[in-house]
Amino acid sequence: MADTPAHVPAGPIVVGTDGSPHARRAVLFALLEAQLRGTGLRAVCAYDYTPARFTGYGWMAVPGGATTLYEQLHDVARQAVTETVHELRKQLGGPHVEVEIIAEAGRPAQVLLDASKNASLLVVGTRGSGVWGRLTLGSTSTEVVHHAHLPVVVVPADSRSASS
């Protein structure tokens, strides 16, 4: 009889979310997958509203002391992800999944790729609006698929809500 390998917990599942209905579908998929695998979830919201983004645009210069604006953006993004995860967790029921919430400034695809370094799966949604949307991926999901070092699931838009 062959020895069976000891169960080694897999890395967490990373899911990208931006508060859109498509991202909610991705979070729901990721939560269910984390339950099935018995692993944790890392919900990541990336935003690119940092002072560096506006460098060189004098008319868009950030007034002195406006760092609290960026702190508020971070807090709002983090709170939105926390509320979404809590609501979907409640809706799904089932085994408890440990969830780490990350809100980070930067390009969404790069933030997701960085957050998935020790993960077992990366989950993203796609816009999928209309006929063309169902045939193509959004820029973030496309970049993630092409540059990821781990399996990626792109959760399609709900076909019932997409216009034809």
The CATH number of the domain where 126 resides is what? 3.40.50.620
CA–CA distances in Å: residue 6 to residues 34, 78, 98: 19, 36, 22
Report pLDDT for 144. Answer: 93
With respect to residue 12, please indicate whether it lies within any of the assigned structural domains: no
Report pLDDT for 134. Answer: 42
With respect to residue 42, please indicate whether it lies within any of the assigned structural domains: yes
List the chain residues with pLDDT less than 50: 1, 5-6, 59-60, 129-136, 162-164
List of residues 6+ apart from 155 with CB closer than 8 A:
22, 25, 26, 29, 123, 124, 125, 126
With respect to residue 117, please indicate whether it lies within any of the assigned structural domains: yes
With respect to residue 69, please indicate whether it lies within any of the assigned structural domains: yes
With respect to residue 95, please indicate whether it lies within any of the assigned structural domains: yes
Number of folded domains in the chain? 1
List of residues 6+ apart from 7 with CB closer than 8 A:
none
Report pLDDT for 136. Answer: 45
With respect to residue 16, please indicate whether it lies within any of the assigned structural domains: no
With respect to residue 31, please indicate whether it lies within any of the assigned structural domains: yes
- Angle value at C-alpha 32, between 44 and 139, nearest 5 degrees: 40
pTM for the predicted model, two decimal places: 0.78
Report pLDDT for 139. Answer: 83
Contact 3, 10 (CB under 8 A): no
Residues spanned by the domain of 123: 26-53+60-154
With respect to residue 126, please indicate whether it lies within any of the assigned structural domains: yes
